[in-house]
Amino acid sequence: MTAPQTANNWAISPNNRRVYTSLVDQIGFWAVTNKTHLLANNWTLVWSCDGTTGPTNSGDNTDRIGTDPTKFAVRATAAAAPQSWFVVQNPEGVQLLFAYQGATDDIALVSGVSAGGFTLAVTTTNQPTAATSLPFGGAKSVVGTSVSADRLTHVWCSADGLQWRCAVFATSVLQSCLSYEKATRLSIQATFPQPYVGSSFVNLTNQYLNSATNNTQVTPVYAGGTTDSGVGTLSNRGWSARVFTALASRLNRLSGGRPMCSNPVATGTANGNVQSVGDVQAVFASTFCASLGGTGALAWPITLWGEKAANLDGPWAVPVDWYQVITASLTNPSQTDMMPGYEVGDTPGVSPPTPRTNWWVVLGSCALWPWKNVAATMQVT
């Protein structure tokens, strides 16, 4: 296999198992697992609410949830109602809101703000709001609907606090994959001050993190269609971001342009990567490519483009330490496969002389994430 080098120092909290007792308990465990890992990696707690008691004022950063899942157990179906929630902030002032808002017990909301921050509601047990928030998780299941399966939560944070990712598995199935992270800007002329992007792949029909899910789709993009078109709403899926153009803050669907795709974004949508079967796979005569001696799979970055719409089109960014690995086989590499690699600061081939083992893990053909040999395997069941 190829051996990509990580650009960031990553802190990974793997294989956090929660034995099933209830969906409310699973959501609570997911929330406190994320909060604990974020706070350990350069994020700070802004506010929190256990659903009964909220902040007394904007300066009250009391942790009312801690590591107790039962403190994140009050669910509401709308923002303007008492619910469990917390807001954390990274060193650049970017904030993340986790709120137990949803129609059923398996649903929660995640929303990011890269400029300005959230504002407390008048009734502080209600959810905080922000005019420029980017909801990328909500109205969809986070932990899945099974009322018997254990859940495995895996959390990634860069040591500098600029990247966050989380994946939840049950019964060997990816239940949700969420991220909010600073990407590498494609163009220095771009008008957004901080290229933070969010991603939400939670519907197994449309997540496209593995091309075997739909063999016409080989990069994680906005899924399109009438049920997934709500960019900036709780029903949004795929990549999204905010951009400031024409004196306004705008929500933007993003598409992962492919090396062989001359028109990566279709008119009015971000579906341009839906191509005919074999568009990329056809360039490989076998599962592993000849240019690597017939033994390795190619890994290359994903390039994000804005949708083809007024004030939203054009180049965006490249996610850091997120690769796609496409071969002639739609099922190879497989979920949880490991790939070798190098750590940031390594001199590949010199120090160390050979790649580090289990350095990357495959969530799907289009999601190769750092693993850093933090555990022998990624547990999914």
Q: What is the 3-state secondary structure (H, E, C) of 162-190?
A: CEEEEEEEECCEEEEEEEEEECEECCCCC
pLDDT (tens digit per residue) in 67-103: 999 999 999 999 999 999 999 999 999 999 999 999 9
- Residue 108, token pair as written in the block: 């929660």
Look at residue 302 in the predicted model and tell me its pLDDT.
82
- Beta-bridged to residue 95, according to DSSP, are 89, 113
Residue carrying the six token digits 């949508």:
269
Look at residue 147 in the predicted model and tell me its pLDDT.
97
- Residue 237, token pair as written in the block: 């899926």
Cα 121 to Cα 76: distance, rounded to the nearest angstrom: 15
- Residue 123, token pair as written in the block: 């009734």
Cα 236 to Cα 299: distance, rounded to the nearest angstrom: 27
Q: Which residues, 6 or more positions from 53, have their beta carbon under 8 angstroms from its beta carbon?
A: 64, 125
Give 225-255 as a DSSP string: STTS--TTSTT--EEEEEEEETTEEEEEEEE
Helical ranges in the chain per DSSP H: 23-39
Cα 99 to Cα 47: distance, rounded to the nearest angstrom: 12
229 contacts 206 by C-beta, under 8 angstroms: no
Q: Name the 3-class secondary structure at 140.
A: coil
Look at residue 238 in the predicted model and tell me its pLDDT.
75
Cα 156 to Cα 248: distance, rounded to the nearest angstrom: 32
Cα 306 to Cα 314: distance, rounded to the nearest angstrom: 5
- Residue 114, token pair as written in the block: 């890269």
Give the type of residue at 182.
K
User: Sign of the C-alpha dihedral, residues 381, 153, 237, 317?
Assistant: negative
Cα 173 to Cα 88: distance, rounded to the nearest angstrom: 29
Local confidence pLDDT in tens for the 381 residues of the chain: 568 999 999 999 999 999 999 999 999 999 999 999 999 999 999 999 999 999 999 999 999 999 999 999 999 999 999 999 999 999 999 999 999 999 999 999 999 998 889 999 999 999 999 999 998 866 678 999 999 999 999 999 999 999 999 999 999 988 888 999 999 988 877 777 778 999 887 654 434 565 433 333 333 333 333 334 456 566 666 788 888 888 888 888 777 644 433 333 333 333 333 333 334 555 666 667 777 777 777 788 888 888 777 888 888 889 999 988 767 665 677 889 999 999 999 999 999 999 999 999 988 777 889 999 999 999 999
Look at residue 13 in the predicted model and tell me its pLDDT.
98
pTM of the model: 0.89
**Secondary element (H or E) of residue 363:** strand 356-364
Q: How many CB atoms lie within 10 A of CB 293?
A: 8
1 contacts 365 by C-beta, under 8 angstroms: no
Instruction: Tell me: cis bond preceding 264? Omega within 30 of 0 counts.
Output: no
Q: How many CB atoms lie within 10 A of CB 354?
A: 10
Cα 230 to Cα 251: distance, rounded to the nearest angstrom: 10
Cα 108 to Cα 85: distance, rounded to the nearest angstrom: 10
Look at residue 297 in the predicted model and tell me its pLDDT.
76
pLDDT (tens digit per residue) in 211-261: 433 333 333 333 333 334 456 566 666 788 888 888 888 888 777 644 433
Diameter over CA atoms, the chain: 64
Cα 118 to Cα 211: distance, rounded to the nearest angstrom: 37
- Residue 31, token pair as written in the block: 């929330």
Pairing of the two strands 338-341 and 303-306: unpaired
CA angle at 91 for the pair 158 and 242, rounded to the nearest 5°: 85
Residue carrying the six token digits 């705008």:
250
Cα 31 to Cα 106: distance, rounded to the nearest angstrom: 12
- Residue 161, token pair as written in the block: 């606090």
